[in-house]
């Protein structure tokens, strides 16, 4: 699983990513100079949490009265006057490591190859007379660069940062070089810095060679081998307080001392083992990869020109897994809009956590793609935001539990952003986040998993209960309500965003309350009042029905859309990523299909993440051809040559969404329950992939699943229990075949195409 190129990157969007969940690096691979752009996961603008004044008393009641009278536009004006806040803070670049060969090596550029092996996390550059290797180690918290030349040479090593006021120190005794600085207090409307304020950062570097000296524009290193060890830390302590940790330099010194003591070889081995053991949990083979020797950028260009390349789809899904492993590790921050990599002091959309689709999409593949530990930062975010959001729920809405809105940041902002009500006035971001915790339990049904996520889940459900209002017909709904980030037309033709009971609101509330209801029983909690509230809400919560066109409606009053081809598909949450549409609910599935077709006919899917969501919807609908078309669209229209997603500009959610969508086309497990697993095999296999195999997929119910197929037909399935009760029944479906089986904890169960038992031996893969 290698991305490779015959030329260096010519801009940041062509560089290749490395990361360990804390330190991110984009490696350019120049002919005579290496440029590595750096990020550290806790380097954001801001100087601690900031409060925003709550709306005046009675404002919410006035909004609801306007909505009862159908005055949508007036309600929106009032919402934007009283129920909007401030922009989130922005994720920041750390700096740039530059290493230049001062002599012009003979044959520079000859036999040039730049490659990223995503199985091992190693970036290499080879050309006549030299070899380079770079990796970022999670076990040892360092970036390591080694550059070997065939003859004595001279390198210049420099470390810069876009932030002003840097302090640089060179220690000739250790070969150490440090840079200290501070991030901005804010970037709105322009970057603003304050003495002694903002997130402080420390970058430590050790440079090893035959002779290392300091010059006016960096270090000079002589010899045949150059080795650089680099790490970074910041003054960030916690989202609750100002960033005043003074031990960043000490941490970096300790990490660098340990790294130098281990040496390059041991560091490399420890890093490779760490990455390989996780990447090799899942194998994806969509048929013989006949283009494996073709440079990756040429493969992408061929797909843009209309070529079919199953091997590139397989590489793309594994690349999504690799990016998640690089960007999100326990103890670090969650993957943001750009994962872990951002070169801008004022990045697009602040490179923040956008909760109305983008942050959740980042974690769609975590469980099914066997990287559950990578979701730990997201669950931590939910827990921290559930604390920050309690005051928001109470002070802004008079509700219990906790609320979060469209965006959050390092400081766990739970209030609305500024700007249009279409994105700012949506208080159910907490519900969507909390449901990821419930999904973690569904994939790994272990008591301790549920206990960890219960505070966020229960708090989100309590807010949802208080957010509901009783409608004239006795059912429950939401008012005000938005459908992120969409708008509709009122009777006067004005563009409006605020209505009542959007489908997304009802779907999220049904799921989060249903999850809390089940969790109460599983945990054996004696909270009868809460249980009664949940039961009553679920009994009175309507299910969205088809609108005038027969498509699943987006708002309760079914208005005409202002933008028929809108990129968001919030009204289809129930289908994916939700699990509210059973296979035998043909009416709802048809309404979802019509809604999807309607959006596509008007041009939806024009951003990378939107096309990935469309692919996942096709997978849930069992449409393999539609899945393949959508995934090809992601590659052809929304992917850079380095395979990073392109919104445009670069945004990483398309990588994660496409990976999850592809795997969803091979395995469904969403309709099970805590006491009974349910699997459908090859539910949306594209005709373009008639032969293939996958190994190591995870399914809800604590199962690991291997599949092979030939000629578009399942030939073998192997199930292995990873967690959960061994006696739990599993409903297994493939086309017209259905069996109920149990899987013991210590051995796999292997079945043939008619779901009858076969000898349990390993599944072959066509390609590595």
Q: Name the burial class of residue 700, with classes exposed (0-12), middle (13-18) and buried (19+) by CB atoms within 10 angstroms of its CB.
A: buried
Chain position carrying tokens 């005038």:
548
If one counts every other C-beta atom within 10 angstroms of the C-beta of residue 210, the result is 11
Question: Both tokens of residue 298?
Answer: 């040429």
* Tens-digit pLDDT profile for residues 166-218: 999 988 877 889 999 999 999 999 999 999 999 999 999 999 999 999 877 78
Mean pLDDT over each residue of the chain, to the nearest integer: 95
- Cα three-residue angle 394-396-399, rounded to 5 degrees: 35
Kindly report the pTM of this predicted structure: 0.97
Secondary structure (3-state) at 563 = coil
Q: What are phi and psi of 199, to 5 degrees?
A: -75, 120
What is the distance between the terminal CA atoms of the chain, rounded to a whole angstrom? 8
Instruction: Answer whether 6's CB lies under 8 Å from 113's CB.
Output: yes
Percent of the chain at pLDDT > 70 equals: 98
Q: Kindly state the average pLDDT of the residues 492-507.
A: 97
Chain position carrying tokens 């329950």:
673
Picking from 608, 577, 621, the residue whose alpha carbon sits closest to that of residue 365 is 577
Band of pLDDT at residue 761, cut at 50, 70 and 90: low
Q: Kindly state the average pLDDT of the residues 538-561.
A: 94
C-alpha span between 708 and 211 (Å, rounded): 56
Please tell me what DSSP assigns to residue 561: B
Band of pLDDT at residue 768, cut at 50, 70 and 90: very low
Residue 766 has pLDDT above 50, yes or no: no
Q: Which pLDDT does position 110 carry in this prediction?
A: 85
Question: Please, where are the H alpha helices in 10-58?
Answer: none
Residue 236 has pLDDT above 70, yes or no: yes
3-state secondary structure 337-374: CCECCCCCCCCHHHHCEECCCHHHHHCCHHHHCCCHHH
Point out which residues pair with 230 in neighbouring strands.
143, 205
C-alpha span between 142 and 135 (Å, rounded): 8
Residue 616 has pLDDT above 80, yes or no: yes
Question: Both tokens of residue 233?
Answer: 């830390």
Picking from 88, 123, 105, the residue whose alpha carbon sits closest to that of residue 5 is 123
Q: Which residues neighbour 359 within 8 Å (Cβ) at sequence distance 6 or greater?
A: 334, 335, 336, 353, 378, 433
Picking from 78, 53, 54, the residue whose alpha carbon sits closest to that of residue 497 is 78
Q: Which pLDDT does position 174 carry in this prediction?
A: 78
Instruction: Answer whether 136's CB lies under 8 Å from 39's CB.
Output: no
* Tens-digit pLDDT profile for residues 278-315: 999 999 999 988 889 999 999 999 999 999 999 999 99
C-alpha span between 450 and 166 (Å, rounded): 45
Instruction: Answer whether 245's CB lies under 8 Å from 235's CB.
Output: yes
Please tell me what DSSP assigns to residue 676: B
* Tens-digit pLDDT profile for residues 11-61: 999 999 999 999 999 999 999 999 999 999 999 999 999 999 999 999 999
> How many CA atoms does the CB half-sphere of 637 hold within 13 Å?
15
Q: Which pLDDT does position 290 carry in this prediction?
A: 85
Residue 249 has pLDDT above 70, yes or no: yes
No. of H helices and E strands in the chain? 17, 30
Q: Which pLDDT does position 124 carry in this prediction?
A: 98
H or E element that contains 266: helix 248-279
Question: Both tokens of residue 90?
Answer: 């922005």
Least confident of 205-214, 268-277, 421-430, 479-488: 205-214
Q: Which pLDDT does position 744 carry in this prediction?
A: 86
Residue 273 has pLDDT above 80, yes or no: yes
Q: Which residues neighbour 131 within 8 Å (Cβ) at sequence distance 6 or greater?
A: 124, 125, 147, 148
C-alpha span between 653 and 645 (Å, rounded): 7
C-alpha span between 481 and 483 (Å, rounded): 7
Q: What is the DSSP string of 56-110?
A: PTTHHHHHHHHHHTT-HHHHHHHHHHHS---PPP-B---EEEEEEESS--TTTTT
| Alpha-carbon distance values, 17 to 118, 158, 634, 642, 652 (Å) | 10, 20, 19, 9, 12
Q: Which pLDDT does position 759 carry in this prediction?
A: 78
Q: Which pLDDT does position 747 carry in this prediction?
A: 87
Secondary structure (3-state) at 507 = helix
Picking from 572, 555, 568, the residue whose alpha carbon sits closest to that of residue 67 is 555
Q: Name the burial class of residue 646, with classes exposed (0-12), middle (13-18) and buried (19+) by CB atoms within 10 angstroms of its CB.
A: middle
H or E element that contains 237: none
Band of pLDDT at residue 765, cut at 50, 70 and 90: very low
Q: Which pLDDT does position 175 carry in this prediction?
A: 80
* Tens-digit pLDDT profile for residues 699-741: 999 999 999 999 999 999 999 999 998 889 999 999 999 999 9
Instruction: Answer whether 695's CB lies under 8 Å from 283's CB.
Output: yes
* Tens-digit pLDDT profile for residues 121-178: 999 999 988 999 999 999 999 999 999 999 999 999 999 999 999 999 988 877 889 9
Band of pLDDT at residue 105, cut at 50, 70 and 90: low
Picking from 266, 370, 285, the residue whose alpha carbon sits closest to that of residue 322 is 370
C-alpha span between 717 and 461 (Å, rounded): 38
Q: Which pLDDT does position 106 carry in this prediction?
A: 62
* Tens-digit pLDDT profile for residues 665-677: 999 999 999 999 9
Q: What are phi and psi of 618, to 5 degrees?
A: -60, -40
Residue 108 has pLDDT above 80, yes or no: no
Residue 763 has pLDDT above 60, yes or no: no
């Amino acid at each position: 699983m290698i991305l490779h190129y015959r030329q260096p990157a010519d801009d940041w969007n062509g560089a290749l990513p490395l990361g360990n969940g804390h330190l991110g690096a984009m490696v350019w691979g120049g002919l005579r100079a290496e440029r590595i752009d750096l990020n550290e996961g806790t380097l954001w603008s801001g100087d601690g949490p900031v409060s925003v004044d709550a709306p005046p008393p009675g404002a919410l009641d006035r909004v609801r009265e306007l909505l009862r009278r159908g005055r949508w536009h007036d309600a929106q004006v009032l919402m934007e006057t009283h129920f909007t806040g401030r922009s989130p803070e922005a994720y920041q670049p750390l700096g740039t490591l530059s290493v230049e060969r001062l002599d012009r090596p003979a044959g520079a550029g000859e036999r040039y190859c730049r490659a990223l092996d995503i199985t091992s996390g190693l970036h290499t550059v080879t050309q006549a007379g030299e070899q380079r290797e770079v990796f970022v180690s999670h076990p040892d918290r360092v970036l390591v660069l080694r550059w070997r030349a065939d003859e004595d040479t001279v390198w210049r090593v420099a470390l810069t940062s876009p932030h002003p006021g840097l302090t640089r120190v060179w220690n000739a005794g250790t070969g150490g070089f440090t840079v200290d600085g501070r991030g901005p207090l804010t970037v709105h409307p322009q970057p603003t810095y304050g003495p002694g304020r903002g997130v402080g950062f420390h970058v430590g570097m050790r440079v090893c060679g035959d002779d290392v000296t300091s010059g006016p524009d960096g270090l000079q290193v002589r010899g045949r081998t150059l080795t650089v060890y680099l790490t970074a830390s910041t003054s960030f302590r916690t989202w609750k307080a100002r960033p005043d940790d003074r031990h960043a330099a000490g941490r970096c010194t300790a990490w660098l001392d340990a790294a130098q003591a281990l040496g390059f070889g041991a560091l490399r081995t420890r890093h490779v083992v760490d990455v390989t053991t996780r990447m090799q949990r899942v194998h994806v083979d969509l048929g013989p990869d006949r283009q494996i020797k073709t440079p990756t950028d040429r493969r992408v260009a061929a797909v843009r020109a209309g070529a079919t390349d199953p091997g590139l789809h397989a590489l793309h899904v594994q690349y999504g897994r690799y990016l998640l492993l690089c960007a999100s590790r326990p103890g670090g921050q969650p993957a943001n809009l750009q994962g872990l990599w951002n070169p801008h002091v004022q990045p697009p959309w602040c490179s923040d956590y956008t909760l109305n689709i983008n942050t959740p999409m980042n974690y769609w593949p975590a469980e099914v793609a066997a990287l559950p530990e990578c979701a730990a930062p997201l669950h931590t975010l939910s827990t921290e935001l559930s604390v920050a959001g309690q005051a928001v729920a109470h002070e802004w809405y008079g509700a219990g539990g906790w609320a979060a809105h469209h965006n959050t940041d390092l400081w766990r902002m739970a209030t609305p952003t500024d700007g249009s009500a279409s994105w700012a006035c949506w208080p159910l971001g907490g519900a969507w986040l909390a449901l990821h915790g419930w999904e973690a339990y569904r994939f790994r049904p272990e008591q301790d998993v549920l206990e960890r996520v219960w505070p966020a889940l229960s708090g989100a459900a309590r807010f949802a209960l208080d957010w509901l209002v009783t409608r004239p017909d006795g059912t429950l709904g939401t008012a005000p309500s938005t459908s992120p980030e969409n708008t509709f037309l009122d009777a006067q033709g004005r563009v409006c965003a605020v209505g009542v009971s959007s489908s997304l609101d009802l779907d999220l509330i049904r799921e989060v309350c249903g999850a809390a209801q089940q969790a109460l029983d599983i945990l054996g909690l004696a909270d009868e009042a809460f249980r009664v509230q949940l039961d009553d809400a679920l009994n009175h919560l309507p299910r969205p029905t088809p609108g005038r066109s027969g498509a699943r409606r987006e708002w309760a009053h079914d208005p005409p859309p202002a933008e028929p081809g809108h990129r968001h598909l919030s009204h289809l949450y129930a289908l994916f990523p939700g699990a509210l549409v059973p296979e035998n609910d043909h009416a709802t599935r048809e309404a979802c299909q019509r809604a999807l077709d309607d959006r596509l006919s008007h041009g939806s899917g024009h951003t990378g993440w939107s096309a990935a969501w469309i692919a996942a919807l096709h997978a849930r609908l069992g449409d393999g051809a539609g899945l393949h078309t959508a995934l090809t669209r992601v590659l052809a229209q929304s992917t850079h040559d380095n395979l990073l997603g392109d919104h445009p500009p670069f945004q990483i959610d398309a990588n994660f969404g496409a990976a999850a969508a592809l795997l969803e086309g091979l395995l469904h497990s969403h309709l099970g329950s805590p006491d009974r697993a349910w699997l459908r095999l090859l539910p949306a296999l594209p005709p373009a992939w008639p032969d293939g195999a996958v190994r190591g997929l995870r399914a809800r119910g604590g199962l690991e699943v291997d599949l092979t197929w030939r000629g578009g037909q399942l030939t073998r399935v192997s199930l292995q229990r990873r967690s959960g009760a061994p006696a739990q029944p599993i409903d297994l479906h493939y086309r017209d075949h259905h069996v109920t089986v149990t899987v013991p904890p210590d051995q796999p169960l292997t079945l043939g195409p008619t779901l009858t038992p076969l000898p349990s031996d390993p599944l072959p893969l066509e390609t590595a």
